[in-house]
Structure 1
Amino acid sequence: MKIQKSKRSGSRDRLSELPDSLIFNIFELLPMNDVVKTTILSKRWKDLWTTVPFLNFTDSSFRYDPDISSARNFVNRALILWKGIKILKFTIDFRSRYGHYTSLLTDDLNVWVRWAKQKEVEEIHLRIKDDYEPYQLSECLYSCSSLKVLVLSLNEISLWSIPGNIKCDRLKSLTIDSLYCDFNQKFISQALRGSPKLEVFNLTLHERGSVFIQSSSLKKLSIRKPRYETDKELKIVTPNLETLEILGSPYRRCVLSGSSSLTDVTLRFQEHKSWYNSIEHENLSAASCEHDCGETLSQILPSIRHVEKLKLSPWCIEVLERTNKQHLLLRPYFIVREPLKFAGRRVSCFDDRVKRIMPSSRPSHS
């Protein structure tokens, strides 16, 4: 009897017995072309992919094709066959190969984004690699009542032209990660004003000019400025901010207002000699960069003495020493080590020891 029961059990289609929620959790971890391939695993799975609320399109599975047309055609076909009601997460990740993707995909990207908006999408992740063509953000995203998370990771993005006011009532997280970002202060102001529930704002800056961040809803703010520009000023007015990260090159002037809620601050200013050795920045010098770093630290550190965790890069510590400003650190802090690469991604590491610097002492850089 036990043997017969085992045979009957072995003949069951266990994949078909899995609940939809578990199957969708599996699908969420896979690129869409692999999700489609699961139709051969079970009769019940044959059309299940057409209702999955997580659509993750990546060109990595098409890397052997000579151009982008196969990946583009796959996305268009999948969207036509999709029969679901609502999209929770929509991802376009075309970064695995070099190419002029933006110029080839601009119209397609806008069609795909509008399609996702019609399906009441909650998360949109656009990751495109193109060394030549900027992507003009689709106008439909300036007003999207369902959107909660927006991630724009592109080599170059244009956010200069704003058709009317930005209105994203449910947006909680906004990330603009771009090597070259063409926009003005008006975009930042309207994005913050039009997103009253925004809690997380990650911004990478490359353009010239000052930046003003004002929001009563923000809880986490991360600003990265890879290039050193002498005319850069940063003003932050965020009364409910809990976590602040300022990364990259220093600012000429930095104003931090309403910082009483801050508990975690990272200041990872870095010295890059290429900034002032290149022809483009031939008038810059190591001294001016160091001066700006010292001024920025002098303006920020006195206003964050109450934070629970302060993380500083080694160069920040060196600048404080050379400028005799150790007195600004009469409290414990962590030293931020240089980012490491793990699984192809840069990961920031922190010393596991809490170090203390006093006016009459010198910090250890072991």
Structure 2
Amino acid sequence: MATKRVKRNCGEKGVQNEPDIMAEDRISQLPDSVIYYIFSFLPTIHLVRMSRVSRRWRRMWVSTPFLYFDCHFDDVTFTEKVNRSSMFLKFVGNCLRCRKLYMQPDTFITSFKLHTYDKLGHHAAQEVDNWVRFAIQSRVKELDLQVGEYCIPQFVFTANSLTQLRFHALGFEVASLSTSSSLTQLKLRALKLESIISIEAPNLFQANLSLTDGGYGSASCFDLLHFLAKLHGLKKMKLSTFWEEDIIFPEDIRNTSSPPLPNLKHLEASLYDEHKKNSELLDFLVWCAPSVETLKINGKILL
């Protein structure tokens, strides 16, 4: 934001050439596509505040293709009586209602992010369902959800516009999911080994998987093997977990099972603690992905 000085004469005695400051809003002079790109890096609460700058920005924030709602109002001061969680949910609901009222008919959503760590009650969970449904109806491409104890509705996985899914510690309505052919990237964080789902995505190219602490037996091991096998078309994967034991299958299972990731070319594994079974872990990962061309473990290139 640049400024320039102008002079004014109020027509009163003793007041001559009084300096004033006029804001020259250079950002508003940018093309819509550039402004939307800037918006993509900002939580929506900041866009709402910025809408006071000019009438043009007031129009643009309700049509931005990037919606990012984060419960961390770090720069907002609340009174002790205000429930931050309720305030956040109310803010999201109001923003989406404004968007429905004033957006243009051909408006779509590129990215919809919703991050809150609070546990939702039944009514709040239904509200989130409606928000996610609205995003999908707006042909959303990237869906990023981090909501306390929220269960992903089945209709998400049949959306033909989605190309990227990012979920953090979420539940699923059903154990087996058949996604649309448009999905190319999948990111699952804090995926529990004892409730692993089956995902079929024929054109999935890249996946980032973060597993919670396991300590599982052979039954959960077979579940994980089945889960990875459904991702057999992957070309690139990042896998993170706490310990080697969470991902290394027993030798007898490897001897009787086919490698789950036969087409994987690039694999990066991250462990919470420094691995002690370097050779065993390397052997296991190569067994999982026999066609791997590049392999990293905790940032160290091994292949």
Secondary structure (helix, strand or coil) at the match of 2:145 reads strand
1:93 matched to 2:115: yes
Cα pair 1:15 1:42 within 8 Å, conserved? no
Question: What TM-score does the superposition give when structure 1 sets the normalisation length?
Answer: 0.60
Q: Against the structure 1 CA distance between its residues 45 and 220, is the aligned structure 2 distance closer, same or farther, given a 3 Å change threshold? A: same
Pairing of 1:142-291 with structure 2 (within 5 A)? 142-154=157-169, 157-159=170-172, 161-162=174-175, 166-178=178-190, 180=192, 183-184=195-196, 187-188=197-198, 191-192=199-200, 195-206=201-212, 208=216, 209-210=220-221, 211-212=224-225, 213-214=228-229, 215=231, 217-226=233-242, 228=245, 232=249, 236-248=259-271, 270=275
Q: C-alpha separation between the residues in 1 aligned to 2:71 and 2:260?
A: 40
Q: C-alpha separation between the residues in 1 aligned to 2:261 and 2:237?
A: 9
Shift of 1:301: 5.3
Q: Against the structure 1 CA distance between its residues 33 and 305, is the aligned structure 2 distance closer, same or farther, given a 3 Å change threshold? A: closer
Question: What TM-score does the superposition give when structure 2 sets the normalisation length?
Answer: 0.71
Secondary structure (helix, strand or coil) at the match of 1:171 reads coil
Shift of 1:269: 6.3
Cα pair 1:126 1:152 within 8 Å, conserved? yes
1:117 matched to 2:129: no
Shift of 1:222: 2.3
Secondary structure (helix, strand or coil) at the match of 1:203 reads strand
Cα pair 2:269 2:296 within 8 Å, conserved? no
Which residue of structure 2 lines up, in the alignment, with residue 77 of structure 1? 94
Which residue of structure 1 lines up, in the alignment, with residue 150 of structure 2? 135
Secondary structure (helix, strand or coil) at the match of 1:79 reads helix
Q: C-alpha separation between the residues in 1 aligned to 2:164 and 2:141?
A: 6
Structure 2, unaligned runs of 5 or more: 8-21
Q: C-alpha separation between the residues in 2 aligned to 1:180 and 1:248?
A: 16
Shift of 1:308: 6.1
Q: Against the structure 1 CA distance between its residues 230 and 217, is the aligned structure 2 distance closer, same or farther, given a 3 Å change threshold? A: closer
Structure showing greater relative contact order (alpha-carbon pairs closer than 8 Å, 6 or more residues apart) = 2
Q: Against the structure 1 CA distance between its residues 305 and 106, is the aligned structure 2 distance closer, same or farther, given a 3 Å change threshold? A: closer
Shift of 1:232: 4.5
Shift of 1:92: 0.5
The CA RMSD measured in Å over matched residues stands at 3.7
Shift of 1:178: 1.5
Structure 1, unaligned runs of 5 or more: 250-267, 272-289, 313-335, 337-348, 356-366
Tell me the amino acid that sits aligned with residue 158 of structure 1: G
Tell me the amino acid that sits aligned with residue 208 of structure 2: N
| Count of aligned residue pairs for this structure pair | 259
Q: Against the structure 1 CA distance between its residues 123 and 76, is the aligned structure 2 distance closer, same or farther, given a 3 Å change threshold? A: same
Deviations 1:126-154 (A, max 9, x none): 123x4xxx322111112110001100013
Tell me the amino acid that sits aligned with residue 243 of structure 1: H
Secondary structure (helix, strand or coil) at the match of 2:263 reads coil
